[in-house]
Chain A
Amino acid sequence: MSLRKTLISVAVGWLVLITLIHAWLNLHLFAARNATGTDQNKFRIGFLPVTCHLTCPVTDFINKQLYGESIFEPVRFNGWPELKEAYLAGYTPATFILAPMAMALREQGVPIKIVYLGHRDGSAVMVHKDSQIYRMEDLRGKRVAVPNRFSNQRLLIFRALKNAHMTIKDIELVEMPPPDMPAALYAKAVDAISSGEPFMGQTELDGYGRVLWLTKDVWPNFISCVLAVHEDMIKNHRDVVQRLVDGIAKSGKWIDKSMDHRMEAAQFVANNYYNQNPRLLSFVLSKPPDRVKYTNLTLRKPDFEEIEELGRESGILKGTAHFEDYTDASFVTDESAVQAYNWEPAKK
């Protein structure tokens, strides 16, 4: 056979074959169809596999258990940049996101509205257990890793430095993706790391990390990640946004109701959503129990004004957007009235 005939038959054959197999395996094209995306009830929400975003998979899971289907379609991203870009492209009309990042986007004119908080606390600064660093002052001249310029961890360090009468110039700040931080600490490539859980807890669990301080020690009830939606969603589908916020609020209450709930959440979230070791999530959710909290999540102006101020000082915010611009607190007016989901896992 000549080259041309061979090539065409092999090429076309392979194209068809690989497309069919891929469609069957990965796109479930031949499986039962379920409405996604375009269906009004199932918009997409973006999240990262971090403990801060726990309420997202928990809501999804419990809804499926109780009602057979979820309110939304959770989409997991592997990094902040992709999460942000998907939101900007309109792919995920709702998303969990860093509070300073949402505020910065608003300043740049992006129609984003924070509607609820994701959690309180849930951050830490870890050092190597063999290091001689025991206080903030010991960090002078050392290298500290944070996830992102817009991260709360960076702001927290700012605040901690201020409290210790130091400035940002006294330490060397580097940006690093959270999944790489444990290895960097282990190899002593950095002296201290700070990001959301479970990456901090991982270093403790594996025996080489030691807590320098937890968020609650520096800035109690600090807000970190928030739930944000596109302005058009609020305008056109207010009821859907309401259901989303209600669901997140109820999940928060459910998680904080008892340690059993937390352990259960650790299991099903780690296995089905985060692809992490359940032991790790259990550790982070329990030691200490107030490492991260999921209640008291209503939007309050003072919390955000503090972030605005710190953001201006540290150079990431211009200060042109204010609380009314980037939040919409009308979805949960009275948090004490929110009831936890009434769902108990089946006894094994």
Chain B
Amino acid sequence: MSATQAEAAVEPGSRASSRGNAAWLRNPDSRFWQTVRAVGMLALFFTVWGLAVRISHSDLFPTPGNVLRGIIELAQKGLLFKYIVASLFRVTWGFTLAVLIGVPVGLVLGWYSRLFQAFNPILQILRPISPIAWIPVAILWFGVSDAAPIFLIFLASVFPITVSAIAAVQNMQPVYLRAAQNFGLSRGELFRRVIFRASLPQIVTGIRIALGVAWLVVVAAEMIAVNSGLGYLIIDARNAGKRYDLVVAGMVMIGFIGLILDFLVRQLEKFDEVRWGYARR
């Protein structure tokens, strides 16, 4: 071991990846080890799951192997991709509508205190109502089509976004407003260049939460007689008799896609326009 390699080994937590060979192996916080930890824990989890099922001699609960075979069966029938696409489609539109409506409404309600006084009680009343309770309304208004689940997903996601936007505006540092007014900005410019920009980090947080909620609600939303989607898969598998392997397969896929979605939203936090709000000193 050369002198530089020995140095790299001794320095704790240093990103020595640029020096010495296989330094990524030696650095305990390198990407390699991060992945190992995550994957290792997952593997442990699956093992424990499989063992638990076997030990309890349960006839009904599937093992990870059953679930995997269920997923392959779906893929072979050509349903896997179709279902994933259907659920993604509905979540995409429901969530997009929530952002397009929730952000401007939140900014306006946060800024105009009289509007806030008027509308906030309604908001707080509607917010805790579970999307499942809205199903009859959804069917009545939108019939049995993609529009109904999209509506439910929209309902679930719009509240975290609006509430974050309102909080961001109400908690904004007054100094920014004074400085902006000093430069003679019009009302529209003030909103676009200052209020919106200053609120963006908090709005992104709200978006991250909302996306998680939207994806969570997809099972409930697909209880309305649509005939595709991961949520539908779970509900249909229940009706089909003993296909709990498909039920859990649906759950697993929803979980993994949720992980990917969250990862994607977190990338938003890397942009300069957002990063300033999360910076660690």
| A–B direct touch in complex (beta carbons closer than 8 A) | yes
5 residue pairs A–B, Cβ–Cβ below 8 Å: A4-B273, A18-B85, A22-B85, A76-B225, A81-B136
Q: In the complex, how many residues of chain B place their beta carbon closer than 8 angstroms to a beta carbon of chain A?
A: 35
B59 touches A186 (CB 8 A): yes
B227 touches A76 (CB 8 A): yes
Per-residue 0/1 for B246-281: is the Cβ within 8 Å of any A Cβ (1 yes, 0 no)? Answer: 000000000000000000000010011110000000
Question: Looking across the interface, which residue of chain B has its beta carbon closest to that of A84?
Answer: B136
A82 touches B85 (CB 8 A): no
Per-residue 0/1 for B71-91: is the Cβ within 8 Å of any A Cβ (1 yes, 0 no)? Answer: 000000000011001101100
Given A3-B273, A15-B96, A21-B85, A88:B241 Cβ within 8 A: no
Interface size class on chain A is 35 or more
B30 CB to nearest chain A CB (Å)? 28
Task: Enumerate B218-241 residues with CB–CB distance to A below 8 Å.
Answer: 223-225, 227-228, 235-236, 238-241
Question: Looking across the interface, which residue of chain B has its beta carbon closest to that of A25?
Answer: B82
| Given A15-B93, A77-B225, A277-B240, 16 further pairs, Cβ under 8 A | A2-B271, A14-B92, A18-B88, A19-B93, A25-B85, A26-B82, A78-B223, A79-B223, A81-B135, A82-B135, A83-B225, A85-B139, A86-B139, A86-B144, A89-B140, A198-B241
B230 CB to nearest chain A CB (Å)? 13
The contact of B238 among A11, A81, A180, by CB within 8 Å, is A180
Chain A residues within 8 Å of B273, by CB: 2-4
Question: Looking across the interface, which residue of chain A has its beta carbon closest to that of B59?
Answer: A186
B239 touches A78 (CB 8 A): yes
B208 CB to nearest chain A CB (Å)? 14
Chain B residues within 8 Å of A14, by CB: 92
Chain A residues within 8 Å of B40, by CB: none
Q: Quick check: is A39 within 8 A (CB to CB) of the other chain?
A: no
Task: Enumerate A317-337 residues with CB–CB distance to B below 8 Å.
Answer: none
Chain B residues within 8 Å of A82, by CB: 135, 139, 223-225
**Across the A-B interface, the 10 shortest Cβ-Cβ residue pairs:** A22-B89, A3-B271, A85-B139, A3-B273, A179-B238, A77-B225, A25-B82, A26-B228, A91-B143, A275-B240
A75 touches B271 (CB 8 A): no
A276 touches B240 (CB 8 A): yes
A75 CA to B227 CA, complexed, in Å: 9
Question: Looking across the interface, which residue of chain B has its beta carbon closest to that of A177?
Answer: B238
Given A21-B85, A85-B136, A86-B139, A78:B225 Cβ within 8 A: yes
A153 CA to B224 CA, complexed, in Å: 25
Q: Quick check: is A242 within 8 A (CB to CB) of the other chain?
A: no
A289 CA to B140 CA, complexed, in Å: 41
A14 CB to nearest chain B CB (Å)? 7
A15 touches B60 (CB 8 A): no
A232 CB to nearest chain B CB (Å)? 17
A277 CA to B144 CA, complexed, in Å: 27
Question: Looking across the interface, which residue of chain A has its beta carbon closest to that of B246?
Answer: A275
A89 touches B228 (CB 8 A): no
A39 CB to nearest chain B CB (Å)? 16
Given A18-B85, A18-B92, A89:B139 Cβ within 8 A: yes
Per-residue 0/1 for A162-183: is the Cβ within 8 Å of any B Cβ (1 yes, 0 no)? Answer: 0000000000000001011011
Chain A residues within 8 Å of B241, by CB: 179, 182, 198-199, 202, 276-277, 280
Chain A residues within 8 Å of B93, by CB: 15, 19
Chain A residues within 8 Å of B135, by CB: 81-82, 85
A4 CA to B273 CA, complexed, in Å: 9
A99 CB to nearest chain B CB (Å)? 22
A79 CA to B132 CA, complexed, in Å: 13
B239 touches A49 (CB 8 A): yes
A86 CA to B146 CA, complexed, in Å: 14
A118 CB to nearest chain B CB (Å)? 18
